[in-house]
Amino acid sequence: MQINLNQNPHLKIFKLVSQAAAKTGNSVFVIGGYVRDLLLERDSPTDIDFVTEGSGIELAKALSELISPQPKVSVFKTYGTAMLRYKDLELEFVGARKESYTQESRNPEVEAGTLKDDQKRRDFTINAMAISLNSDSFGELIDPFGGQEDLKNKLLKTPLEPQQTYSDDPLRMLRAIRFASVLNFTIEENSLQAIKKEAERIKIVSQERIMVEFNKIMLSKRPSVGLKLLEETGLFQIILPELTALKGIEEIEGMTHKDNFYHTLEVVDNISENTENLWLRWAALLHDVGKAPTKKFTKGQGWSFHGHEFLGAKMVKKIFKRLKLPLGAEMKYVAQLVKLSSRPIALITDDTSDSALRRLLYDAGEDLEDLFTLCKADITTKNPEKQKRFKKNFEYVEKKIRQVEEKDHIRNFQPPISGNEIMQMFGLKPGKEIGILKERVKEAILEGEIPNDKEAAIQFVKAQARELQIG
């Protein structure tokens, strides 16, 4: 089959690559994800992979000489690859190769091979297609494993026997699930069974590589597609057992609780309709993670999960550490949202005090809108009347909070009087008394005892200092 590249936005660079190949006597083909996305008519990726039956490094250097200004070629001799940038594109060149694997590693033994050898080693048939850029066959599609047909059928298949493919490189199991989630494809049945059999092999893959694929699943349009496949294949239990612990419904004395695992997947899908923020999606994924260890049945009262938000927030740090996810602002943000995830629900009453609203404003700060996005996503009832009522309740709390914020300016609260000012007022040196006075000012403002302004704070500090016999 011939692919018409004349209207392709990258025709110019393809022509230059073709010239470089002719100059060095090498063959050259575009391969992998670029070809797949071109045939799917998806947005063109900014990275393009080229394979040659000669030296990828030599070909990249020859191309660089044809471009002005001449781009730098980054060479990776160990892997026989080279990379250069052209405008907004990242171009990678590799020599066609055969691979063989050992049981202990996903790093293969590599030797030079033909284009077909290289296509065999690809993960899926839809990623094994190549387009010739050679002058005598420019634009010809080379598809030895029926990738084009699998694209039409939205099917993920491996070029070779699937169990061997996944055993050789277990990361491919996660890639299969990621493509199923991102492209809305089905994993072919033999391939799916092979993933189930080889799931334990994922343990030889680094956490960093696992999380790259996992986060791509989390960023897909409907993450539950991939998350359900992770659970079905047994990979979820290995990667994030704290979450699969939420699976199942128990019944005692005719009383049950909902399946918090599948509820969580619904919440992640709900929030994904409203945000592409990866860490807000993670907050949705972990918002109920503390429910498994806090689940309790009390005779006559039923099931409870007391304190699950606080335990869940503590679990976030351990989970992020184990999974090699960022331990800075991202982790703190997720833990904060998990901890606060039930707070707005408790405020859905007419007699909620302004001090409770002020405290939520103070605790949530800049994350308040994201907290409400999470709370609304947490509404998974299928009853339209209940859904309408719950959403209306949240809108009511949001309105009350806005009114309090306009009046008291609590968000991102900074005390109206500083520690230095308190020290100057009483001629004190730094010490615990300053901290006590600052804390009392904060509490008085949050409780509504004094307004959030400087003069009121000064008068309050003077009264507190007399009471504590300070100064």
pLDDT at 252: 75
Listed as ranges, residues in the chain with pLDDT below 70 are 99-111, 253, 255, 346, 348-352, 411-413, 471
3-state SS record for the chain: CECCCCCCCCHHHHHHHHHHHHHHCCCCEEECHHHHHHHHCCCCCCEEEEEECCCHHHHHHHHHHHCCCCCCCEEEHHHCEEEEEECCEEEEEEECEEEECCCCCCCCEEEECCHHHHHHCCCCHHHCCEEECCCCCCCEEECCCCHHHHHHCCEECCCCCHHHHHHHCCHHHHHHHHHHHHHCCEECHHHHHHHHHHHHHHHHCCHHHHHHHHHHHHCCCCCHHHHHHHHHHCHHHHHCHHHHCCCCCCEECCEECCCHHHHHHHHHHHHHCCCCCHHHHHHHHHCCCCHHHHCEEECCCEEECCCHHHHHHHHHHHHHHHCCCCCCHHHHHHHHHHHHCCHHHHCCCCCCCHHHHHHHHHHHHHHHHHHHHHHHHCCCCCCHHHHHHHHHHHHHHHHHHHHHHHHHCCCCCCCCCCHHHHHHHHCCCCCHHHHHHHHHHHHHHHCCCCCCCHHHHHHHHHHHHHHHCCC
pLDDT at 358: 84
pLDDT at 364: 86
Q: Provide the CATH topology of domain 155-239.
A: Hydrophobic Seed Protein (1.10.110)
pLDDT at 108: 58
pLDDT at 360: 85
pLDDT at 397: 82
In this prediction the pTM is 0.84
Q: Does domain 11-152 have CATH number 3.40.50.2300?
A: no
Domains in the chain: boundaries: 11-152, 155-239, 273-408, 419-468
- How do residues 41-73 score in pLDDT, each as one tens digit? 988 778 999 999 989 999 999 999 999 899 999
pLDDT at 253: 65
